[in-house]
């Protein structure tokens, strides 16, 4: 049975930064309160022309470059997102088209902030089963579009960004070691965007009621998170047959420093074992774990051969954890430049639209 190794990684955040001081000009809050209660100092906010696919493609090209893989080599693209560009089509399909990943199947996965763990596990399981050889797993969000900038309990938290991993099959042991996924829909009302779906289709009244905004019971989500972060970490270690001492790093969902500290206390671990970068990005939902991982790898914190646990929680409610051994790129011949495929992908996309148009005209004539 092949192993699923993480052989490429990349991240992308919008250049526009919103500081706590900037937010204090919009709502009754201040830098000291936000830092003390969340640990966040600033977050990145997408411009009008930046979408989950834009950020996802940028992160993916970096990941493919490190993996030395062409977009056309990919078998599967999974995009985890809670801020998809449309209800349908899937954001993953937009990314597939922009990358020119002509062979890949593509779908979105909705498990909120836990989504990247779910998606990485799904990609890894498809490789482990032998049905595919490579997968691109993306977590991408522009949740700022759904933030009520008059609600101080939520607008201080969220930021935009994307992270992407390439998974590849290898006979070499390692890569994704185990994963656990959990849900409890009885808490579905605790964190939600209620409007725009089929229960509350967009209308004047959904907008007047603010149903298009993120609504959250912060205290309940906080309590739930502190309960599950430590237990999911322990559970995934048992599945992997590892003890906590055999793991070098815990990479938690970057929601609130107090939640991460509570999880560390629960496991009696020093904070030095936790990868934390929420001060600069805020809560980027499903993108937070890959963004934290990519930064840690680039800084030389996480090294090949080291073992780690990714652990997250979010709306749904969902929570989960994934244990992995960090491999790094599989040595390969040649030098692939995935960014060059973007031009061909654009041309291909235009040509396919034109052909579809011509085919439509011919088909109509035949009828
Ligand atoms: O990916 C999952 C996403 N969600 C989460 O991770 C959220 C988890 N929850 C949290 O992180 C925290 O509950 C918050 C950061 C949202 C809130 O922090 P808290 O320490 O739980 O504050 P609180 O809601 O208990 O409010 C304490 C006080 C209240 O004032 P009173 O009633 O005591 O007078 C709030 O009105 O702080 C007030 N408050 C604020 N004050 C200044 C709430 N938000 C703010 C604010 N600035 N931004």
Closest C-alpha to ligand 1, atom 43? 153
Three-state secondary structure along 30-70? CHHHHHHHHCCCEEECCCCCCCHHHHHHHHHHHHHHHHCCC
The residue whose CB lies within 8 Å of the most ligand 1 atoms, and thus the one to mutate among 153, 157, 285, 291, is 153
Please check whether residue 322 is in contact with residue 176, taking contact to mean a CB–CB distance below 8 angstroms. Answer: yes
| Predicted local confidence at residue 340, as pLDDT | 81
State how far the Cα of 257 lies from the Cα of 255, in Å rounded to an integer: 7
Q: Which protein residue has the closest C-alpha to ligand 1 atom 28?
A: 153
Residue written as tokens 């309940």? 220
Of residues 226 and 364, which shows the higher confidence score? 226
Q: Calculate the average pLDDT of the chain.
A: 96
CA distance 62 to 142: 19
In this prediction, residue 333 has a pLDDT band, given cuts at 50, 70 and 90, of low
Distance, CA of 321 to CA of 313 (rounded, Å): 9
- Band (281; pLDDT cuts 50, 70, 90): very high
Closest ligand 1 atom to 30 CA = 47
Q: Per-residue pLDDT for 12 more than 70?
A: yes
Q: Are strands 17-19 and 42-44 parallel, antiparallel or unpaired?
A: antiparallel
Atom number in ligand 1 closest to CA 255: 6
d(CA 239, CA 222): 26
Residue 154, pLDDT score: 97
The mean per-residue pLDDT over the stretch 226-246 comes to 97
Hey, is 125 helix, strand or coil?
helix
* Of the candidate ranges 139-148, 303-312, 336-345, the one whose mean pLDDT is the lowest: 336-345
Token pair listed for 323:
């244990």
| pLDDT tops 80 at residue 332 | no
Structure tokens at 303: 């090294």
Of all residues in the chain, the percent with pLDDT exceeding 90 is 93
Angle of helix 91-99 relative to helix 341-366, nearest 10 degrees, comes to: 110
Give the whole-angstrom CA distance, residue 140 versus residue 84.
Answer: 9
CA of 14 to the centre of ligand 1 (A): 26
**Percent of the chain residues topping a pLDDT of 70:** 98
pLDDT band at 339 (very low <50, low <70, confident <90, very high): confident
Q: Determine which of 71-85, 109-123, 202-216, 353-367 has the lowest per-residue pLDDT on average.
A: 353-367
Q: Return the structure tokens found at 86.
A: 């449309």
Give the start-end residues of each E strand in 111-237. Answer: 134-141, 161-170, 175-183, 191-192, 215-216
The phi and psi torsions of 221 (rounded to 5 degrees) equal -65, -40
- The predicted-structure confidence for 18-77, as pLDDT tens digits, reads as follows 999 999 999 999 999 999 999 999 999 999 999 999 999 999 999 999 999 999 999 999
Nearest ligand 1 atom, CA 315:
2
Q: For residue 37, give the ligand 1 atom closest to its CA.
A: 20
Residue in 234, 222, 230, 314 with CA at minimum distance from that of residue 265: 230
| Number of DSSP helices (H) and strands (E) in the chain, helices first | 12, 13
- In angstroms, what is the span from residue 284 Cα to ligand 1's centroid? 18
pLDDT value at residue 72: 96
With beta carbons less than 8 A apart as the criterion, state whether 34 and 355 touch: no
Helix axes 31-38, 257-266, angle to 10 degrees: 20
The pLDDT value given to residue 329: 75
Q: Annotated catalytic, 200?
A: no
The CA 153 to ligand 1 mean position distance, Å, reads 5
Q: What is the pLDDT of residues 78-128, one digit of tens each?
A: 999 999 999 999 999 999 999 999 999 999 999 999 999 999 999 999 999
Domains of the chain: residue spans and CATH: 3-325 (3.40.47.10)
H helix or E strand, kind and range, residue 298: helix 288-298
Q: Which atom of ligand 1 is nearest to the CA of 157?
A: 15
Say what the pLDDT of residue 366 is. Answer: 66
Question: What's residue 286's pLDDT?
Answer: 98
- Atom 13 of ligand 1, nearest CA residue: 218
Ligand 1: residues with CB < 6 A are: 29, 33, 37-38, 113, 152-153, 156, 216, 218-219, 221-222, 225, 255-256, 283, 285, 314
What's the CA-to-centroid distance between 37 and ligand 1, angstroms? 7
Pocket test for ligand 1, best of 20, 25, 37 (most atoms within 8 A of CB): 37
Marked catalytic residue, from 93, 113, 155, 256: 113
Rounded distance from Cα 355 to ligand 1 centre (Å): 54
pLDDT reported for residue 335? 79
Condensed to tens digits (0 to 9), the pLDDT of residues 133-162 reads: 999 999 999 999 999 999 999 999 999 999
Per-residue model confidence (pLDDT) at position 263 = 97
Residue with CA closest to ligand 1 atom 7: 218
79 is annotated as an active-site residue: no
- Kindly tell me if the per-residue pLDDT of 354 is higher than 70: yes
Q: What distances in angstroms separate CA 338 from CA 19, 64, 65, 94, 331, one per listed residue?
A: 34, 6, 6, 17, 17
Peptide bond before 173: cis, by omega within 30 degrees of 0?
no
């Amino acid at each position: 049975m092949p192993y699923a190794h993480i052989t490429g990684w990349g991240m992308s955040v919008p250049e526009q930064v919103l500081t706590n001081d900037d937010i204090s000009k919009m709502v009754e809050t201040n830098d000291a309160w936000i830092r003390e209660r969340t640990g966040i100092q600033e977050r990145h906010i997408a411009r009008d022309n930046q979408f989950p696919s834009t950020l996802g493609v940028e992160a993916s090209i970096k990941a493919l470059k490190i993996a030395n893989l062409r977009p056309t080599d990919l078998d599967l693209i999974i995009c985890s997102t809670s801020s998809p560009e449309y209800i349908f089509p899937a954001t993953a399909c937009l990314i597939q088209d922009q990358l020119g990943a002509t062979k890949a199947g593509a779908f979105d996965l909705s498990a909120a902030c836990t989504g990247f763990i779910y998606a990485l596990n799904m990609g890894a399981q498809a490789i482990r089963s032998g049905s595919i050889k490579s997968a691109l797993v993306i977590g991408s969000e522009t949740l700022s579009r759904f933030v009520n900038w008059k609600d101080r309990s939520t607008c201080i938290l969220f930021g935009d960004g994307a992270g992407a991993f390439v998974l590849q099959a290898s006979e070499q042991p390692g890569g994704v070691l185990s994963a656990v996924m959990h849900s409890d829909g009885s808490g579905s009302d605790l964190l939600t965007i209620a409007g725009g779906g089929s229960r509350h289709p967009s209308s004047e009244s959904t907008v007047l009621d603010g149903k298009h905004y993120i609504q959250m019971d912060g205290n309940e989500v906080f309590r739930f998170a502190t309960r599950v972060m430590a237990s999911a970490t322990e559970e995934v270690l048992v599945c992997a047959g590892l003890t906590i001492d055999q793991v070098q790093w815990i990479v938690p969902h970057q929601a609130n420093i107090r939640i991460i500290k509570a999880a560390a206390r629960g496991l009696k671990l020093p904070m030095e074992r936790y990868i934390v970068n929420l001060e600069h990005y805020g809560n980027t939902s499903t993108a937070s774990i890959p963004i934290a991982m990519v930064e840690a790898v680039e800084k030389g914190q996480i090294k090949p051969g080291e073992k780690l646990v990714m652990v997250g929680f979010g709306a749904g409610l969902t929570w989960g954890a994934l244990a992995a051994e960090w491999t790094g790129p599989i040595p390969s011949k040649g030098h692939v430049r995935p960014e060059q495929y973007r031009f061909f992908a654009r041309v291909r996309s235009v040509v396919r639209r034109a052909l579809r148009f011509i085919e439509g005209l011919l088909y109509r004539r035949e009828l």
